[in-house]
Structures are given as C-alpha cells and as structure tokens.
Amino acid sequence: MALLSGQTSGLDREIRFGDIHYAFHVRHGRAAWDDLRVRLAGLDADRFVVVADAGLPDHLVAATEVHLSSVAPTHLVKVNADETSKNMAALDRIGEQALKSGITRRSVVVALGGGVVGNMAGLLAALLFRGVRLVHMPTTLLAMSDSVLSLKQAVNSRCGKNHLGTFHAPVLVWNNLDFLDSLPAEEIRSALCEMIKNVLGIVPERYDEVAGLLRPDGHYTPEVITRFIDLCVDAKSAVMRADHTEKREALVLEYGHTTGHAAELLTGGRLRHGFAIGIGMLAAARMSRELGLLDRSEELAHHRLLELNGAPTRLPEELDVRSVLDVIRLDNKRGYVPGREGTFDFILLESLGAAHCPGGLPITQVDQDTVRLGIESVCADRLTLVGT
C-alpha cells in the first residue's frame, strides 16, 4: 500500500487474487488527469470505447473524452444506468455500437459510471472477441469501494439480478475522488453500507475505527474517503486472495445480498443498492439470532453502524414478506449446496467476522419460518425490536 500526499494525493494498491493482479489508484486534484494519461499510454491501445452513464454531468464526460482522445481515438457509448436497463438487450446494443466504431482486439473498453455501468462494460469486454482489455473509471463511491474490486461481470435476466455473466479482470482501476463532488450525500451513505458489511463480516477489528468516522450527513474529506476505500481493498483482498471467483470463503461478500437484491429488484432500483444490502444484513442478523448463532449485542452492532451512517433500517412500505420471498426463491446463490425442501440459502454470521459454514461453505439453509421472521423484522409496518 502507498498513501500519497500533495496535489495528486491518494492511494496506490496492487490488487492480487491468485494469479490475477491489476493496478488500483485513487487520485484527486489538478494533476490527476496527467497521471491517468500516462497510465493509459502504457496500454498501447488502438482505440478506447467508453461505456458511460447517460446521467453523468456533461463536463465530466467531456473531460474524459478530451483526455482519452489525447492518447488514442475514443468512441463514446451512453447507457441508462438503472437496473431495468441492465439486460442482454442493452448489452447487444452497446456491443453493436462498439463494433461499428472499429474496436479491435487491441482496443480497451472503459467503464465510466457506477456499478451498473461497470457490470455492463465489464461483460461487454469479456465477450467481445472472447475478451478485450477493461479499464474502470468509477464515478460513484459504491463502485470505487466495492464493485471494481470484484471480477464478476453480469446483467439481469427477466427472473432476477445478475443471472447472466462471467468473470473478467480489469487491467487498471483509476478512481478520481473529484467525480464524487456531484453525488448526493444519500449516495455516499448508501455506498458505505457495503463497507459496513465488510467490517461486520470480515474485519470486525476495524469496528471502532469506522464507528468513530461515520457521519449521518454523509460529508467526508477526501482523506477519510480514501481511508474507507483502503479498508474495503483490505477486506475484499483477504477473502478473495485464494477465491477470485467468490465461490468459497469469499461468499461472505454476499452477506445481506439475498434479501437486499430482492428488495432492490422489486423497487426497480429506487431503493439504492447499499441501503438494500444494509437492510438485508439486518434481516440476516435476526435470522442468525433466532438460530442461536449471533447474540443480541452482535445484532445491535449491525444496527449501530447503519444508524451512525444515516442508513434506513426498514424496507420501503410497498414491499411485503410474500413478494420478497418470491424473489428470494430465484436468488443466484442457489446450487452451491444441494437444495433442501422448505429452506432458503443464506449467508449468515456465527460471530462478527466469522461466516457460518455448516458444510464447509458459508451457506446456511434456513427454514421458511425463520426467513419470514427475519424479513418481517425489517418490514416498514412492523415494530419488531432488536432486544425482544
């Protein structure tokens, strides 16, 4: 790890998952773009195809085009960055545009946006000519601290989230904290729910540190944001170092995602991803407590960090237990262990920092009544108290 100071203050890391490695940089300040141009020139690309969030500020997209064009010809493809547009039809459209622009095996796909754009551009890069190079330029804190630290690239099917995908590593991740200036505080708070997941599930020794830094208003200095990102790199590297496909110990990264993904899908993405995962963790913590895995203080520890972060702790009012259960039945974690009638596969903790691994994998088959109780505990019309 190298923490930098001065006008290009930030962070330099090398991400290593088994034999896979790539450069990861955090920058902000006037000289950040000069740093990017040097790194992109080293790729010797004949063309950049930038897959950009159509909702990004014009000045940010224009600046990216200008700086990339100074290195190699650059073609811009804009996409709608929402869950309803993250599908194979959209991927086919941007693939056609990339091919018509003249993309070759020497070209580089650049993802400019948040996690949805990163997934779409990542899957495009994986599929074009059976794999071209990928560069991530995330514009959200969630992408900077979470999604670009995973090799999973996927789009949604008509049945649920991330059913269609593969693994594809970037060659470079370049994070510019100046991109975050236009984000609402709610987006920052949502992103930090994934960091909280890492603390609860992987690095509980950082709990007090994070509790002391979290602010419900979501306003942080670049130095604190860099510290949060560095923590997430440490946590994800710890479980992915020998499991880059996230099928064994790294499954703990899916903590909170079973209920969370269902809620996110049912609201069409109106419930932000991080907030959905935070609520999903509370549901999972209640299930764990009912099964005798977590105690009351450990369940309360979940609530404390989310509340310090100013995150919601209840599902939106329009969601009910039945609709959430219906989506969970099609969750993409099914099949890691043989299915058992009347149960759902969940990632649960048996203590902070320790996933419950009844069969060697962090998959717990939870009976329907306990799942229902966990979901009810986070429903808006319920007043289930943690201490009861």
Q: Which of 187, 194, 249, 254 is catalytic?
A: 254
CA 179/CA 85 separation, integer angstroms: 23
Q: Which of 152, 186, 290, 376 is catalytic?
A: 152
Q: What is the DSSP string of 21-81?
A: EEEEEEE-STTHHHHHHHHHHTT--S-EEEEEETTS-HHHHHHHHHHHHTTS-EEEEEE--
For residue 215, give the DSSP letter.
Answer: -
Q: Are 149 and 233 in contact (CB under 8 A)?
A: yes
- Closest C-alpha among 279, 17, 41, 53 to residue 169: 17
Measured CA to CA in angstroms, residue 221 lies from 172, 188, 214 at distances of 25, 12, 12
End-to-end CA gap in the chain: 44
Rounded to the nearest 5°, which phi and psi values hold at 8?
A: -105, 35
CA 176/CA 37 separation, integer angstroms: 13
CA 257/CA 82 separation, integer angstroms: 18
User: Residue 105: how many CB atoms within 10 A of its CB?
Assistant: 11
- Closest C-alpha among 215, 222, 210, 205 to residue 351: 205
CA 187/CA 274 separation, integer angstroms: 9
Rounded to the nearest 5°, which phi and psi values hold at 343?
A: -125, 160
Residue 152 a catalytic site member: yes
Q: What is the DSSP string of 180-191?
A: GGGS-HHHHHHH
Active site residues: 152, 254
